[in-house]
Structure 1
Amino acid sequence: MPLYSLQHLSPTAVLGLWHLTETPAELWPLLPQPEAYQALLPAKTDARRQAQWLGGRVLLHRLLSETLPDLAAEILVQNDNTGRPWLAGAGPGPTVSLSHSGTWVAAILAQDGRAGVDVEEIRDKAHRLASKFLAADEWAAAQAASQAGLNDASTHYSLLWSAKETLYKLSAQRGIIFKTQLLLGEFEPRESGEIPATLVLNGLQTRHCICYSQPAPGYVLTYCHEPHA
């Protein structure tokens, strides 16, 4: 299906969602420079992962056509040696963040600042692994919220994991310890809202705000864009 939604987060940043229903064969014609992308396609990917990989690049090119129409067809979405996506041919300004899970793809294209986005299929895996990525106070707050019936446990823990993934992408660094360096403050779970967050990096603490929503039943979305001051 075509672009599901497009949301301007600021005058310089746009968030796009794509509901992935296409096969890889249907996605290839939607990309500019398909030969170049064929060379970049990760080896040994099955059809589902190929569709997610292609869908992410199709979505970013749709966002590029909205924001950089003169360059959109000439830009290639590549990955650096840490796995983060970047735009070859776009110059030093724009930044991107990309995520996919199940049948959904999410992307942010920002002309300045930094950005992070994550979409997650709701599963019980995050609940099972909560002690590995949540600080003690975060885990206690999550357990209290579940016991009070404020949110389905699988949904709540998937949201917490997604929020930390977005904060991790915002940090733009490898080797981050989710449990001690990506910290989430208290919030009242709703269908959409904001989560206060703290990034502990290089001996400094910085404050951030992670937005969240449920784009479709069974999925959570988190994102953050911080333009330059």
Structure 2
Amino acid sequence: MPLHSLQHLSPTAVLGLWRLTETPAELWLLLPQAAAYQRLLPATADARRQAQWLGGRVLLHRLLAEARGSASEGTQVHNDPTGRPYLHGTAADLTVSLSHSGTWVAAIVAQGGRAGVDVEEIRDKAQRLASKFLAPNEWAAAQAASQATADASAHYTLLWSAKETLYKLAAQRGIIFKTQLLLGEFEPQKAGEIPATLVLSGLETRHCICYSQPSPGYVLTYCHEPLA
């Protein structure tokens, strides 16, 4: 399946979604500079992980063309030692964020500022690990909210995804999800916003995490903050 959707979050940022139906061989044909990327592909990736990896780079190149209004020749997607993607080459000044889970790939390309995106397949794992990544008040609120919904796993997965997006926005290592990535109260819906607080070096900053459901069984969260 080709590009699923493009959404301009601001005049300087675009969010893209790709629904994976292609094989790795088919995705290689869509990827610019395929020979260069062959050297970057993780050696241990199985066919599913290869498709996700390739799909993410195909999507980012599509978003680069959208953001710049031209082909992304001379630019490659690399990963730093922590695994965070960045652009190497002629578009190194752009900010990127990338996520994949199951059959979905999501990415943001922005001209400056900060960005974070996360897509998650709904599973019961987040609910089982809730006490490890939720602050006590967040866990209490989640337990109350999950009693009012038919799918508690979806709610806990949304909370995990929101913290993942906030973590990517922070762009720092060693962050403790339970105490430094904090979520405020919100009324769960199919799509909406979650108030969030990032605690770094004793300073608190306020943020807004947007969320939606790209398809049944998945949640998507994202945030872009342009330069002031």
Instruction: Say whether the fold is shared (TM-score over 0.5).
Output: yes
Alpha carbons 1:150, 1:189 under 8 Å: kept:
no
User: C-alpha distance in 1, partners of 2:149/2:205?
Assistant: 28
| 1:68, distance to aligned residue in structure 2 (A) | 1.9
**CA-to-aligned-CA distance 1:66-116 (integer Å, 9 cap, x gap):** 122445022100011221111111355210000000000000000110100
User: Which residue is equivalent to 1:208?
Assistant: 207
| CA-to-aligned-CA distance 1:136-191 (integer Å, 9 cap, x gap) | 000000001112x1462000000000000000000000111000000000000000
Report the Cα distance in structure 2 between the residues aligned to 1:206 and 1:73, rounded to whole angstroms.
37
> Which is worse superposed, 191-200 or 150-159?
150-159
What's 2:46 paired with? 46
Which residue of the partner structure matches residue 30 of structure 1?
Answer: 30
Q: Which residue is equivalent to 2:181?
A: 182
Distance 1:190 1:151, change over 3 A: farther
SS at match of 2:211: strand
Give, in whole Å, the separation in 2 of the partners of 1:35 and 1:26. 14
The two structures have a TM-score, normalised by structure 1, of 0.97
Identify the residue that residue 192 of structure 2 maps to in structure 1. Answer: 193
Unpaired runs of at least 5, structure 1? none
How big is each residue's C-alpha offset from its partner over 1:4-48, in whole Å with a ceiling of 9 and x where there is no partner? 000000000000000000000000010111010000001111000
Aligned: 1:126 with 2:115:
no
**CA-CA distance at 1:3 after TM superposition:** 0.3
Aligned length: 228
Other-structure match for 1:65:
65
- The answer to whether the 8 Å contact 1:130/1:157 transfers is yes
Contact 1:71-1:90 at 8 Å conserved across structures:
no
Task: Give the aligned partner of residue 172 of structure 2.
Answer: 173
Unaligned runs of 5+ in 2: none
CA distance in 1, matches of 2:150, 2:93: 39
SS at match of 2:123: coil
Q: TM-score, normalised by structure 2?
A: 0.98
Quick one: percent identity of the two aligned structures? Answer: 80
Letter in 2 for 1:80: D
The answer for the alignment partner of 2:223 in structure 1 is 224
In 1, the alpha carbon distance for the partners of 2:66 and 2:105 equals 17
Contact 2:115 2:168 in 1 (8 A): yes
Q: Write the distance in 1 (CA, Å) between the matches of 2:65 and 2:164.
A: 27
Give the secondary structure class of the aligned counterpart of 1:73.
coil
CA RMSD of aligned residues (A): 1.0
Secondary structure, in 3 states, of the residue corresponding to 1:176? coil
Q: Distance in 1 between matches of 2:150 and 2:8?
A: 28
Distance 1:206 1:169, change over 3 A: same
